Structure 1
C-alpha cells in the first residue's frame, strides 16, 4: 500500500470527553466558543465513530470510558476489559470460580493462622467501571465463611453513577452481607480520597490515617452519615472518611485486598500503604501479611501487589506497528491520562519501542483543576510545536484530557473554559502542521462534556456517555472521504494514510473511502 502525498508528519490529537450530541442543554461542547475547531471541521473530511458498547468491547449500551476507548484505539479492534473475565469467575462454581482461586486461598492461609483480618477496599458501585459492589459482597461472604475477620472499606462513586446515589448502593450492600457474621463495614469515604488519579496529597493522607490508624470521625449509621453529607451538598466522590466505632485500623498481620477493575485505580492510597514516606507521610507502614488486588496494578505498584487476575494485554498495537515499520513517533500526554497510554493503548507494554519518545506533563489535582481548566494543554502544545519544527518524527500523538477531567467535576463553566483553551491550542497546531505540509487528525475518545445534566433527575451528571465521537482529517488529499466507523477503525485508517498494512490482529478497517486512490509520496 503506497503512502498518500503530504501525510507526514502525521499528527493525531486525541480529545477525551469530546462526544457528539445535538441537544444544547447541559452540553459544554455546544456552549463553548470553538471557532477554530468548527472552522477546521467545516472545511475537512469528517465522520462519526462509535465509542461505547460493543464497538469498544463492552456490553451493548454501556457508556464508553478511558480503558475501553484507548484499548480499541491502540489495538485496532474491540478489546474486552478485565471485568468480563472477572465477572465470569464470580458467576462460576467449581475450579473456574472465585471461591477456588489459588491466590484467595493463599491469602486465607497467610492471615488465618496469625489471627489477622482482611481489609477489602473497593468502590461501592454497580457501574462495573472501577469496581462492583457485588464483588465486595461475594468476597466478604467467602472470607467470612473461612473464619477470617473481614473489614470492608466502602469507596463511594458519584462519577460513574448519579452524584448522590451511593446511599442506595451502600444500603443494598449491607443487606447482602448481613448473613456474613465475620464481615463488618470498617469505613466509608469518597473516591477522591486517594482512589482517583487526580487525588491530591492531603486527601490521600486523610484516607491513609483513616484506614491505617483509624483516625477519622466515627459513625454508627453509615447511611445516615451519607445523608448528612448530601444535605451539605457533597457528592458521593467527595464524602470525607468516616469509620465504624468498632474499627481499630490495620493491625499487624492483617492483609489488604483492593477490589479493583482497572490497573490505575487507587495508586495514591495503595502507594501510601506500601511506602508512606515516599508518599510524603511521616508515618510507619502497617506490618501486613500481604497486599493484593483483584486486577494487576500498573507500574510501579504492579510488582509489589499480588493480583488475582492479570491486567489487559495485547500485541501488535499501533505504536508497535509504527516501530516495526521503522518510523519515529512521539507521544505527548499528562499524568492524568498517562495510564491510558501505558496500560491501555499499548496493551500493557511498559518499555519504549524503537524510535519512540514519550513526554508526560504533570496534571493538577482535581481540587485545583477548576481554577486552571487549561491544565497541561499549553505545555503539551508547546512540546508539539517544537517537535514539528525539529522535523524528527513521522507520527506525533497528543492527548488533551481537559474536557473529560473538568467534566468529572460537574462544573459546566470550568468545562467550557477547558474546551475553549483546547480550541486555542488547535489553532496553533493546525497552522504549524499546515506549514510543514503534514496531516492533522482530530479524534474524540469517549463522550463526557457533551452531557453534564442527568436526563432523569435534571441534576449534575459526571459520568461518561454512549455518544459517538468525531474523527476529522485536516490536510490530507483533497478528494479524500471518510466513512463512519468505530474507535477500532482509527489505527487501520492511520496506517492506510502512512502506506502501512495493518497487522492481522487488527480487525478494524480503514475509513478512507475505497474510491480514493493512493498516491506515492514525494
Structure 2
C-alpha cells in the first residue's frame, strides 16, 4: 500500500457509443478537438456495454443503471431478467425454495395456484417464457389446479398482437395440462392499463382486482375470441382491454399467487391490493388470506407480505469499497439526472456513502426537454470538479456527464451534437487538471445513445430515442503511457480492475473483470 498512486479520475460519458460516422450519429458530427487529441496521444480501446457483457440477455441494449453497476462492481452483475432466464435454462428454477414452497402449500391443501402477469414476449416488464416455465414446473410438481390471471400488453409489442400471443399461450397450456393431467385455464384477462397502473389510479386497479378476486367483469368463454371481440369495440388494442372473466372461481383463502413480472414499477399497485391487510386504495369487497404471494423480483423493500423468488443482488467489495478500505478519500459528482448513477449504482446498489466519500450534486437545468439546453449543467459540473482536483480534495474522483444520453433521448440530432461538444469542453478542463497533479484518468461510457439518432423508413427520418447496443470507448490518459493489452472482448467490468491496478491497489477476489494494461 506504500506505493499507491493518486490522484485518479474516472469519467463516465453517459450515452456515448461508438458507431460508423454518418448523419444519424451525432457524435461523429460534433467538433471535439480535445477528444481527438486524446485518441491520438493515449492508449484506447472499446468495451462491451450491452447484452451478456453486462449481465443482460444477448442483444439487449444497456442502460445507465446497469452500466454503472458493472463499472463499479468490476465483474459482470447479472440482472434479474438474466438470472431468471439462466435459472430456467439450467433447471435450477425447479429448486427455488420460494417457488417450491408456494406450490407445495396449494398441493397440501388442494388449493389453486394463480400465475399472474403480463402475457407478452416484450421482455420489458415480463417474459412469456417465464410464465410457461412456471406453469410446467407447477404441473410437474403436482399442483392440480392452475389459473392464469393475464394482463395484456399492446405497448411493448404491437397494439393488437395479444390475440395471437394468447392463442399460442393457450396451446402451450393445453399441452402441459394433458401431459400432467392438470386443470389449467385462463381465469381472467385485463389490459395493463387496468392491472399495471403506476399512477395511483386505483379505480383502474379495482376493476382488475375484482376480476381476479371476485370473478367480476366482462364474461367470456374463450380467451382468444374475447380479445378479438374487444378489438372490434376498441381499436386501441390490448393495453386497454377491460377486465374479462373466464373462470368465476376467483381468489380464495389458502390459494397462492406467483406474479411473474420482473420489473417492479407497474407491479406494485396490484400487489399492494392483493397482499396488504391495511390497504386503503379502494374498498375491497373481499380479501383472500393467501398461502403465499410470490414476486419474481423485489418490487418494493417495504412490502411485508410477499416472498421474493429472485432477491436483489448487492455485489460485495465494489470499487468505492476498495478505495475506502485503502484509507483513501473519494469524490463523486454529477448533475441531478445522473447523480444516482455515480453514487447508488456505482456503489453496488448501496445508498449510504462509503467512509471518506464526498458527494456533490449539481442541479440539472429546469427546461422542458434537454434539446433546449444541450450543455445541461456541464459547466457547473466541470467547474466544481476542476476546483476539487486543484485543491486536492480527494485521492479518487468520479464524474458523470449526462449530456449525450439525456439529449440523445430527445431525438434531436443537432442538439445531441452540441451535447457531445459540451462534454468535450468538460474534458478539456478536468483532464489537464488531473495530469498537472501527476495523476491519470480513465474515460469511458456506460452505454450508447447519441451514436444512432434516427432510422430512414420509406425516405422519412424516424427518430430513435432509445439506447443502442454499441460498444463504448475507453481511453487511458496517463503520461506514463501504460501498454494496453489486446483484449478484443473487453467490457465495462474491466474498468475497475484496470483503475485499481494503475493505482497500485490489490483488487478483491470478487472482481473477476480483467486488467487491461500490462503490469
Distance 1:351 1:228 in 2: 52
Decide which of 287, 292, 295 is 1:293's aligned counterpart: 295
1:86 aligned residue: 84
C-alpha contact (below 8 Å) 2:449/2:465 kept by paired residues? yes
1:309 aligned residue: 310
C-alpha contact (below 8 Å) 2:374/2:422 kept by paired residues? no
1:35 aligned residue: 32
What are the residue-to-residue correspondences of 1:453-468 with 2, within 5 Å? 464-468=467-471
Q: 1:84 to 1:39 in 2, by over 3 A?
A: closer
1:321 aligned residue: 322
Distance 2:233 2:70 in 1: 41
1:243 aligned residue: 242
**1:330 and 2:331 are equivalent in the alignment:** yes
Could you tell me which runs of 5 or more consecutive residues in structure 1 were left unpaired when the two chains were aligned: 515-522
C-alpha contact (below 8 Å) 2:119/2:128 kept by paired residues? yes
Distance 1:259 1:433 in 2: 47
1:365-407 deviation line (CA, Å, top 9, x unaligned): xxx9973457998457635643553543332323345544665
**1:501 and 2:502 are equivalent in the alignment:** no
C-alpha contact (below 8 Å) 1:335/1:362 kept by paired residues? yes
C-alpha contact (below 8 Å) 1:210/1:249 kept by paired residues? no
- What secondary structure does 2:145 align onto? coil
User: How far is the alpha carbon of 1:83 from its aligned partner?
Assistant: 4.1
C-alpha contact (below 8 Å) 2:99/2:294 kept by paired residues? no
- What secondary structure does 2:27 align onto? helix
What are the residue-to-residue correspondences of 1:170-181 with 2, within 5 Å? 172-177=168-173, 181=184
Distance 2:475 2:195 in 1: 34
C-alpha contact (below 8 Å) 1:318/1:491 kept by paired residues? yes
1:121 aligned residue: 117
Distance 1:92 1:472 in 2: 38
2:394 aligned residue: 393
User: How far is the alpha carbon of 1:310 from its aligned partner?
Assistant: 2.4
2:473 aligned residue: 470
2:516 aligned residue: 511
Distance 1:226 1:336 in 2: 40
2:353 aligned residue: 352
- What secondary structure does 1:48 align onto? strand
- What secondary structure does 1:51 align onto? coil
Distance 2:403 2:305 in 1: 31
1:518 aligned residue: none
Q: 1:58 to 1:275 in 2, by over 3 A?
A: closer
Q: 1:40 to 1:417 in 2, by over 3 A?
A: farther
Q: 1:133 to 1:22 in 2, by over 3 A?
A: same
**Structure exhibiting the larger radius of gyration computed from Cα positions:** 2
Distance 1:361 1:302 in 2: 33
**1:13 and 2:14 are equivalent in the alignment:** no
User: How far is the alpha carbon of 1:23 from its aligned partner?
Assistant: 4.5
Give the total of aligned pairs: 478
User: How far is the alpha carbon of 1:73 from its aligned partner?
Assistant: 1.4
Q: 1:115 to 1:62 in 2, by over 3 A?
A: closer
**1:137 and 2:132 are equivalent in the alignment:** yes
C-alpha contact (below 8 Å) 1:296/1:305 kept by paired residues? no
- What secondary structure does 2:20 align onto? coil
1:107-163 deviation line (CA, Å, top 9, x unaligned): 457779697873622472264x754211123335666854243312244563xx899
User: How far is the alpha carbon of 1:58 from its aligned partner?
Assistant: 5.4
- Out of 33-42 and 302-311, give the one that drifted further: 33-42
1:77 aligned residue: 75
Q: 1:133 to 1:399 in 2, by over 3 A?
A: farther
User: How far is the alpha carbon of 1:355 from its aligned partner?
Assistant: 1.6
C-alpha contact (below 8 Å) 2:330/2:394 kept by paired residues? yes
Normalised by the size of structure 2, how large is the TM-score?
Answer: 0.70
- Out of 311-320 and 445-454, give the one that drifted further: 445-454
C-alpha contact (below 8 Å) 1:292/1:305 kept by paired residues? yes
C-alpha contact (below 8 Å) 1:187/1:243 kept by paired residues? yes
- Out of 144-153 and 487-496, give the one that drifted further: 144-153
Q: 1:15 to 1:131 in 2, by over 3 A?
A: farther
Normalised by the size of structure 1, how large is the TM-score?
Answer: 0.70
Q: 1:441 to 1:420 in 2, by over 3 A?
A: farther
Distance 1:362 1:257 in 2: 41
Alpha-carbon RMSD across the aligned residues, in angstroms, is 5.1
